[in-house]
Amino acid sequence: MKQLPCVLALISLFALTAACDDPPSITDARAPSDPDSSRITICEPHEPGERLTIRGRVLDDRGMPLSKAAVIAYNADRNGLYNPPDSPTRVPRIRGVAVSADDGSFRVTTVRPGAYPSGTDPAHLHLEVVAPAHHLRSMEIWFEGDPLITAEHRRRAAASPNTVLVELSRAPSGAWEFSRDIRLQGN
């Protein structure tokens, strides 16, 4: 029962992103079934594009680890699309939920997203993090070196704790990666 608030928050978040006539079920939310749900892969093995791994910890406002926090991740594919153009749903197809471990750690592997086809917004991914007795934190993460990041984008990122620029590095496997701890404010 302790996980019920996180599951309810998760369902609500995905319901907000869905079209009214296409509400997601808990299966659509891709809640983790692996025993180590703190380490997940949200893209299919055949998904084209370079892999990207996000590592981090969920912390409270005092810097203490939060276990069992839901880390909801979603992003566009390498072409900047959340779904194929003819898709009947607005729920992103590359998405998943990690649950932070006892030490607050999580790891999400996905495909490196591309910029939207409009060419005005930098490539990015989304993290929504929630834990019992803590406020939801929604983050948009951009990647340093993206040619679409303008001075205005940098001003926006500097003014918002929920828009984050990260430096990507290459793992020995050749995949992209970055680390980011996420602090949640208590209620």
Kindly report, residue by residue over 148-180, the tens digit of the pLDDT: 999 999 999 999 999 999 999 999 999 999 999
pLDDT score of 5 = 47
Q: Which residues pair with 75 in a beta bridge?
A: 125
| β pairing state of 137-143 and 163-166 | parallel
Phi, psi at residue 138, to the nearest 5°? -110, 130
Label residue 36 by pLDDT band (50, 70, 90): confident
Among the residue ranges 17-26, 71-80, 92-101, the one predicted with the least confidence is 17-26
pLDDT score of 35 = 63
CATH at 51: 2.60.130.10
DSSP, collapsed to helix, strand or coil, labels residue 9 as helix
| Residues 134, 182 contacting (CB under 8 angstroms) | no
Over the stretch 56-96, which tens digit does the pLDDT of each residue have?
A: 999 999 999 999 999 999 999 999 999 998 999 989 999 99
Domain limits for position 9: 4-183
pLDDT score of 20 = 34
User: Nearest 5°: CA angle at 140, between 135 and 143?
Assistant: 145
| Residues 108, 51 contacting (CB under 8 angstroms) | no
Number of domains in the chain: 1
pLDDT of 27 strictly over 60: no
pLDDT of 110 strictly over 80: yes
What the block records as the tokens of 166 is 């990260």
**pLDDT > 90: what percent of the chain?**
78
pLDDT score of 1 = 46
**pTM for the full predicted model:** 0.81
Kindly state the average pLDDT of the residues 24-35.
Answer: 45
Exposed e or buried b for every residue in 76-90, given b needs 16+ CB within 10 A?
A: bbbebbbeeeeeebe
Residue with tokens 């093995």: 45
CB atoms within 10 A of CB 120: 10
Kindly state the average pLDDT of the residues 38-58.
Answer: 97
**More confident call, 29 vs 125:** 125
pLDDT of 29 strictly over 50: no
Number of H helices, E strands in the chain: 2, 11
